[in-house]
């Protein structure tokens, strides 16, 4: 079997076009959704993520309030800025780019964000709501995975999903979303991690595999059954002297071998990656609608 490749760029672009239309109609009501972006320090990877997020805001017509703070910014100064954004009606979502410099406590900072503006979906209030199945801001990468499955026509109801990875930002939330008694969920979910004995015995049973281990080749062709659906969240740098940057990006699965065995598979890059920023935009537009009491 040769897999259909899930085109994350196209799905992300479709969702962004829909959001752009929503932003146009919000603007006609005098509402401009706004995202407050905070970057502390000059980590090159963080800088490029933040720039991509700001560009994406511009592309769909969101207002973005960009704050690039020096590396030495104190935790108190950062929290003061967040508190100002919490009460600023022009800001519907607050994004603090992680990781933060070591002298700042990440958890304290994320807790300072008003949950109603927590468009990253990392605040314990939003995580708690997600777990009990209440409407909340969903964390962007897991939400992106759900949208990829939905828009690729993958039925999750009754499927056995194996999630490889249990981080707070990917593995745990994506597993939680998939077992909810809801549309585009209602799956039987197994979560695997480094404590799992015989990973292959679990992945072999999977109808859908979500790979979020952060290690290349965690899933190989001998570990899956024919026709499996594979969503590869991993982003790993592999040395490659033929590339200008000296490296290339690969996911967590052996893509070349698995595309001959799976029914559907996401590439890296171009699979889950483009969905993460898209879902941040989605949450910001949702937040603006909630703040202005606009219902779908
Ligand atoms: P993380 O915090 O390092 O967590 C990795 C998880 O995978 C851990 O739970 C770990 O188990 C488990 N794991 C590692 N090796 C394993 C193995 N050989 N077998 C089974 N489980 C294994 O990483 P993360 O933040 O969740 O990110 C995962 C990957 O997704 C990374 O490559 C990251 O760059 C990528 N990512 C991509 C996006 C995107 O937008 N595309 C967004 C976020 C993350 P233990 O808990 O036992 O250590």
Please report, for the domain that includes residue 239, its CATH number. 3.40.50.720
Q: Are 156 and 184 in contact (CB under 8 A)?
A: yes
The pTM score is 0.96
| Nearest protein CA to atom 30 of ligand 1, as residue | 234
Cβ-based burial of 38 (10 A; exposed 0-12, middle 13-18, buried ≥19): buried
Distance 80 CA to ligand 1 centre (A): 32
Residue 106 has a pLDDT of 95
Residues 99 and 150 occupy one common structural domain: no
Active-site residue list: 53, 97, 120
Residues 146 and 109 occupy one common structural domain: no
- pLDDT > 70 in the chain, percent: 100
Distance 265 CA to ligand 1 centre (A): 18
Residues 159 and 230 occupy one common structural domain: yes
d(CA 283, CA 139): 9
Residue 1 has a pLDDT of 81
Residue 220's contacts (CB-CB under 8 Å, 6 or more residues apart) are: 253, 254, 257, 258
Q: How many domains is the chain built from?
A: 2
- Asked whether residue 242 is assigned to any structural domain, the reply reads yes
Distance 215 CA to ligand 1 centre (A): 7
Residues 109 and 197 occupy one common structural domain: no
Residues 202 and 258 occupy one common structural domain: yes
Distance 25 CA to ligand 1 centre (A): 39
User: Would you write out the chain's pLDDT as a tens digit for each of its 296 residues?
Assistant: 899 999 999 999 999 999 999 999 999 999 999 999 999 999 988 999 999 999 999 999 999 999 999 999 999 999 999 999 999 999 999 999 999 999 999 999 999 999 999 999 999 999 999 999 999 999 999 999 999 999 999 999 999 999 999 999 999 999 999 999 999 999 999 999 999 999 999 999 999 999 999 999 999 999 999 999 999 999 999 999 999 999 999 999 999 999 999 999 999 999 999 999 999 999 999 999 999 998 77
Residue 270 has a pLDDT of 97
Q: Which of 213, 217, 231, 272 to mutate to test the pocket of ligand 1 (most atoms within 8 A of CB)?
A: 213
Residues 148 and 267 occupy one common structural domain: yes
Cβ-based burial of 31 (10 A; exposed 0-12, middle 13-18, buried ≥19): middle
d(CA 286, CA 296): 10
Structural domain of residue 215, as residue ranges?
140-275
Residues 71 and 194 occupy one common structural domain: no
Residue 295 has a pLDDT of 76
Residue 294 has a pLDDT of 86
Residues 147 and 239 occupy one common structural domain: yes
- Asked whether residue 16 is assigned to any structural domain, the reply reads no
List all residues whose CB is within 6 A of at least one atom of ligand 1: 141, 164-167, 169-171, 192-196, 199, 212-215, 218, 233-236, 272-273, 276
Residue 229 has a pLDDT of 98
Residue 155 has a pLDDT of 98
Residue 267's contacts (CB-CB under 8 Å, 6 or more residues apart) are: 5, 6, 8, 232, 251, 255
Residue 207 has a pLDDT of 98
Residues 208 and 88 occupy one common structural domain: no
């Amino acid at each position: 079997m040769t897999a259909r490749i899930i085109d994350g760029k196209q799905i992300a672009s479709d969702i962004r076009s829909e959001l752009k239309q929503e932003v146009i109609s919000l603007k006609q009501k005098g509402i401009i959704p706004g995202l407050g972006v905070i970057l502390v320090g000059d980590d090159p990877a963080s800088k490029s993520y933040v720039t991509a997020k700001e560009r994406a805001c511009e592309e769909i017509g969101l207002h973005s309030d960009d704050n690039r703070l020096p590396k030495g910014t104190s935790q108190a100064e950062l929290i003061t800025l967040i508190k100002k954004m919490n009460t600023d009606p022009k800001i519907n979502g607050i994004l603090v780019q992680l990781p933060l410099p070591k002298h700042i406590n990440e958890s304290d900072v994320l807790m300072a964000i008003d949950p109603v503006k927590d468009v990253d979906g990392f605040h314990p209030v939003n995580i708690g709501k997600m777990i009990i199945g209440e409407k909340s801001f969903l964390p962007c990468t897991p939400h992106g995975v759900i949208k990829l499955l939905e828009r690729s026509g993958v039925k999750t109801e009754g499927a056995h999903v194996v999630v490889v990875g249990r981080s707070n930002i990917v593995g745990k939330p994506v597993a939680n979303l998939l077992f909810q008694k809801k549309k585009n969920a209602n799956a039987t979910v197994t979560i695997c991690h480094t404590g799992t004995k015989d990973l292959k015995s679990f992945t072999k049973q999977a109808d859908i595999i979500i790979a979020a281990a952060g290690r290349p080749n965690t899933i190989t062709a001998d570990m899956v059954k024919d026709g499996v659906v594979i969503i590869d969240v991993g982003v790993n740098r592999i040395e490659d002297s033929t590339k200008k940057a000296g490296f290339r990006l690969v996911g967590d699965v052996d893509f070349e071998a698995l595309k001959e065995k799976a029914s559907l598979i996401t590439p890296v890059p171009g699979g889950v990656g483009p969905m993460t920023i898209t879902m941040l935009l989605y949450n910001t537009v949702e937040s603006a609608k909630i703040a202005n009491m606009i219902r779908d």
